[in-house]
Amino acid sequence: MTTHLPSFPAVNENPLDTCLRLREIAPVVEVEFPGGVPAYLALTHKAVREILAGDNKTFLRDPRHWPALYDGSIPEDWPLRAIVQGGHLSTMDGGDHRRLRGLVGRAFTPARVQALEPRIQQIIDGLLDDVVAAGDGVDLVPAFTEALPMWVICELFGIPAEDRLRLRNWTATLLAHTTPPEVAFATQNELQAFLHELVERKQREPGDDLTSGLVQARDEGDRLTTDELVGVLWLMLVAGHETTVHLLGYAVVALARNPGQLRLAMAEDRWADVVEETLRYRHSVMMTSFRFTAEDVTVAGVRIPKGNAVGVVYQASGVDPAEYGDSADRFDITREQTGHLGFGHGPRYCIGAPLARLESRLALASLYRRLPRLSLAIDPDDIAYSPSFFTIGPLSLPVDLGLTAS
Ligand code: HEM
């Protein structure tokens, strides 16, 4: 398949810059994804919000609504197939989607999340002890911003500590657009096998964790099949850490670039505001996997015919001047938040938002309380970002701890 559409991602340009460039053309633009596959990108706040409000009606997630995937137009070995055909909560619609969301929601109540606070704080304190022990030059990504969300989500779902790194690597491989197709499929298979094995283990030896709770729901006839259960686990485990990892990374970079904002956050304990502004300013979800048009539809004035794929670009929606004015690209924790789309909107609103908010606020408050003179040991312009257009964040953040007397 070849088209004459603009390429996405573009060679030698970061995906956000490409999206901002394309947004000059129209709020919704048809582009060519790797493999010559055409799909639309929604690039403004208004267009993204309109699409999210149409979820489960005009916009569907079941890939069978994208004929090109099955009629030979898109090759069998297209690298993004593994993600697009995921077979989980986010690729289901209507009643199935509501049923699975309901099951997760019952296990994942705000009260249960709130009760995690002391444990999360304990994990943070332990990680910061290790950061301090490692000394200047320590890489904050593996040591803190990645370690914390991995630890919390794995503990919640009863995944042993020795499997955390594997889960992290599988996720990063699957979400990278640079992963060759055969590696993407092999990774998906390995992760699925791991999750099936986890379910069997929790059936034999249940614990006080969410996987055991979901296994019990299945066995008590809650209309949940084992494949659906594995699909729910897949999404909760992947979405439940990858996004928070990158949110923390972006917050550290934004605060390093804006020392006045850091001083304000420290002086007035405004870590919740830092989290909200980071969600708006540099969303860790660049775009989610595709939605498909159930009928001909017009979004922000642009017509998209039935049976097409659309990606909503959260990252571009957060810095849209039409929504946030001239200061859209300024990191400002005093900004009045008027409804950023950081956790989505409508029927697919993020299930993990309370956990992500709690974890991130505690992590940033503790990091800067313990290390008030923390600084990046790398020029922010030289930071490498993950090679993915689904979720993006810093790959490595070497820091100086500021502990030695000057
Ligand atoms: C900073 C952290 C996070 C961000 C920025 C984030 C963002 C989002 C966004 C934008 C969506 C909507 C996706 C769409 O358009 O289809 C979403 C959905 C979802 N999120 Fe999060 N998320 C975060 C953390 C979490 C955590 C910690 C969990 C689980 C523990 C989680 C689980 C989910 C699930 C299961 C969905 C799918 C909901 C559905 O399809 O109905 N997320 N998230």
Cα of 267 vs centre of ligand 1, distance in Å, is 31
Lookup result for tokens 């969600």: 279
Lookup result for tokens 């489960």: 56
Cα of 167 vs centre of ligand 1, distance in Å, is 17
195: which residues sit within 8 A by CB, 6+ positions away? Answer: 230, 233, 234, 237
Predicted confidence at residue 182, as pLDDT, reads: 87
Nearest atom within ligand 1 for CA of residue 283: 5
Contact 374, 368 (CB under 8 A): yes
**Residues in the ligand 1 pocket, defined by CB under 6 Å:** 89-90, 101, 153, 235-236, 239-240, 243-244, 247, 279, 284-285, 288, 312, 314, 342-344, 348, 350-352, 355-356
Lookup result for tokens 């609103």: 349
Nearest atom within ligand 1 for CA of residue 104: 35
Strands 297-299 and 37-42, by their bridges, are unpaired
Residue whose CA is at the smallest distance from ligand 1 atom 27: 240
Nearest atom within ligand 1 for CA of residue 284: 5
Nearest atom within ligand 1 for CA of residue 359: 27
Return the closest-CA partner of residue 38 out of 16, 17, 69, 77. Answer: 69
Nearest atom within ligand 1 for CA of residue 246: 1
The tokens of 170 are what? 């599988």
Predicted confidence at residue 405, as pLDDT, reads: 64
Predicted confidence at residue 71, as pLDDT, reads: 94
Domain boundaries, the chain: 15-400
Interatomic CA distance for residues 149 and 237, integer angstroms? 10
Predicted confidence at residue 299, as pLDDT, reads: 97
Return the closest-CA partner of residue 15 out of 395, 286, 254. Answer: 286
Cα of 270 vs centre of ligand 1, distance in Å, is 23
Predicted confidence at residue 111, as pLDDT, reads: 87
Interatomic CA distance for residues 236 and 228, integer angstroms? 12
- Given ligand 1 and candidates 343, 349, 391, which is best to mutate, with the most ligand atoms within 8 Å of its CB? 343
Cα of 46 vs centre of ligand 1, distance in Å, is 20
Cα of 350 vs centre of ligand 1, distance in Å, is 4
Cα of 4 vs centre of ligand 1, distance in Å, is 33
The tokens of 168 are what? 């992290």
Lookup result for tokens 């409000």: 53
Cα of 344 vs centre of ligand 1, distance in Å, is 8
Lookup result for tokens 């997630």: 61
pLDDT in tens, 83-110: 888 777 888 999 989 988 988 888 778 8
Predicted confidence at residue 178, as pLDDT, reads: 83
Q: What are the φ and ψ backbone dihedral angles of 404, each rounded to 5 degrees?
A: -80, 140
- Given ligand 1 and candidates 97, 101, 243, which is best to mutate, with the most ligand atoms within 8 Å of its CB? 243
Cα of 397 vs centre of ligand 1, distance in Å, is 24
Q: Which DSSP state fits 33? A: E
Residue whose CA is at the smallest distance from ligand 1 atom 41: 348
Low-confidence ranges of the chain (pLDDT < 50): none
Q: What are the φ and ψ backbone dihedral angles of 282, each rounded to 5 degrees?
A: -140, 85
Q: Is the pTM of this model over 0.85?
A: yes
Cα of 76 vs centre of ligand 1, distance in Å, is 28
At 176, the amino acid letter reads A
Contact 217, 112 (CB under 8 A): no
Predicted confidence at residue 2, as pLDDT, reads: 59
The hierarchical CATH code for the domain 15-400 is 1.10.630.10
